[in-house]
């Protein structure tokens, strides 16, 4: 249970999957560790063009000394069919790892499933696959579900094109691992600047480079679906994720908010970390026939950013909203309701702040808040 600023239980120690009962704390136990960094002399040319410079590095591993036979059987047998999270070292991934390491009661059964968290570097806690795009996957890796958390938010248009590359990589991983479903993180930014509550059927009209990049990613996923019998794909159009947007990144001190002509500040549809975990859990285990192609992910009502700042107890200053500022983004959540998901915490400023304090203490401040 969430009781304050920190989690009530420690992170799970790294476990050797060949000896599931043996906790090894990230140390090599003589067999292949579940945290497995694969070596590559160089990334393929195509991947090197797309990835940021810090990803074009050699990966080393204790597993390299084990020989090909032991590496070949990575994640086969009783551990097959797990849920693979891609991009777990990002903000959203780190929050979800914390949520599922000490889950609320309704997520406890899902958290007991074999969850594997892909990251570019070893991390303490639950099972980690240390791997980067462009490096061959471990032989024998199997997954039932791929949750593609990764993506590029800030950057140049060329950087933002990596969102499409990463989505295509997730589809490639699904094909190689036998996954039957892939959950992709898209964004409410694809809708542009609507003046009404947008449903999944609302035609996208992005107006920012990020929104355009996410729409291009969505279209690439739809195109890939038409080329053959691949996995089922669901696009999650996320509202603002509490703890991962500019407002929450600045709640350690005074914040500046835009004031619009009606005297009000910006409001957004938010999704709390626990509620995002609930959505992912439902989509990961529901019958394939119930998987929507597109799903808005947010609380039932938008939240005023000023109310969040007040709940956090931080001072506010105001500035006149520039012409390009967006006063309100409201996601209709009938699709969530159809799946039996009602997420009131994501529309409650105090609960959003409480989860931010619990799950995001290690996130560095951002420096800009705009409408």
Domain boundaries, the chain: 242-271+300-371
Please write the tens of the pLDDT for every residue from 238-293: 999 999 999 999 998 899 999 999 999 999 999 999 999 999 999 999 999 999 99
List helix spans (H) across the chain: 45-50, 68-72, 91-101, 108-111, 157-160, 162-177, 209-225, 246-249, 273-285, 305-312, 334-338, 349-359
pLDDT, residue 143, reads 96
Please give the angle made by the CA atoms of 346, 243 and 99, to the nearest 5 degrees. 75
Q: Residue 82 — φ and ψ, nearest 5°?
A: -80, 175
pLDDT tens, residue by residue, 331-345 = 999 999 999 999 999
Average pLDDT score over residue span 291-302:
98
Q: Match 């794909």 to its residue by tokens.
A: 233
Rounded to an integer, the average pLDDT of 213-232 is: 90
Q: Is the pLDDT of residue 46 over 80?
A: no
Query: What is the Cα–Cα distance from 103 to 105, expressed in whole angstroms?
Result: 6
Encode pLDDT of 182-219 as tens digits: 999 999 999 999 999 999 999 999 999 999 999 999 99
Higher pLDDT, 363 or 110: 110
- Which residue did the predictor score with more confidence, 166 or 52? 166
Confirm whether pTM is higher than 0.85.
no
Cβ count near 9 (within 10 Å): 10
CATH number (3.90.25, 1.10.3210, 3.30.1390, 1.10.10) of 242-271+300-371 reads: 3.90.25
Within 10 angstroms of residue 366's Cβ, the number of other Cβ atoms is: 15
pLDDT grade for 225, boundaries at 50, 70 and 90: confident
47 has pLDDT over 60: no
| 229 has a pLDDT exceeding 90 | no
């Amino acid at each position: 249970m969430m009781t304050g600023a920190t989690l009530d239980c420690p992170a799970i120690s790294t476990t050797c999957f060949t000896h599931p009962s043996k906790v090894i704390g990230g140390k090599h136990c003589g067999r292949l560790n579940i945290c497995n960094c694969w070596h590559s002399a160089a990334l393929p040319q195509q991947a090197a063009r797309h990835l940021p410079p810090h990803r074009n590095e050699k990966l080393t591993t204790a597993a390299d000394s084990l020989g090909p036979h032991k590496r070949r059987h990575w994640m086969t047998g009783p551990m097959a069919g797990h849920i693979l999270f891609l991009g777990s070292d990002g903000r959203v991934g780190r929050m979800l790892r914390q949520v599922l390491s000490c889950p609320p009661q309704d997520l406890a059964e899902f958290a007991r499933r074999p969850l594997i968290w892909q990251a570019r570097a070893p991390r303490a806690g639950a099972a980690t696959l240390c791997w980067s795009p462009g490096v061959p996957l471990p032989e024998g890796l199997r997954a039932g579900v791929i949750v593609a958390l990764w993506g590029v938010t800030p950057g140049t248009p060329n950087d933002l094109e990596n969102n499409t590359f990463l989505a295509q990589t997730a589809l490639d991983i699904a094909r190689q691992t036998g996954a039957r479903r892939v959950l992709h993180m898209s964004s409410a930014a694809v809708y542009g600047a609507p003046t009404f509550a947008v449903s999944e059927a609302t035609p996208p009209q992005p107006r920012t480079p990020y929104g355009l990049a996410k729409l291009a990613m969505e279209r690439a996923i739809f195109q890939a679906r038409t080329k053959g019998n691949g996995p089922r794909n669901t696009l999650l159009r996320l509202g603002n994720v509490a703890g991962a947007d500019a407002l929450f990144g600045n709640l350690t001190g005074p914040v500046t908010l835009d004031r619009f002509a009606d005297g009000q500040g910006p409001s957004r549809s938010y999704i709390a970390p626990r509620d995002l975990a609930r959505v992912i859990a439902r989509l990961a285990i529901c019958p394939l026939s119930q998987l929507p192609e597109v799903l808005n992910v947010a609380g039932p009502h938008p939240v005023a950013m000023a109310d969040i700042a007040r709940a956090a107890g931080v001072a506010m200053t105001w500035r006149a909203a520039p012409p390009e500022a967006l006063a309100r983004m409201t996601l209709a959540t009938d699709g969530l309701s159809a799946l039996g998901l009602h997420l009131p915490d994501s529309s409650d400023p105090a609960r959003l702040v409480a989860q931010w304090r619990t799950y995001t203490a290690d996130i560095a401040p951002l420096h800009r808040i705009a409408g």
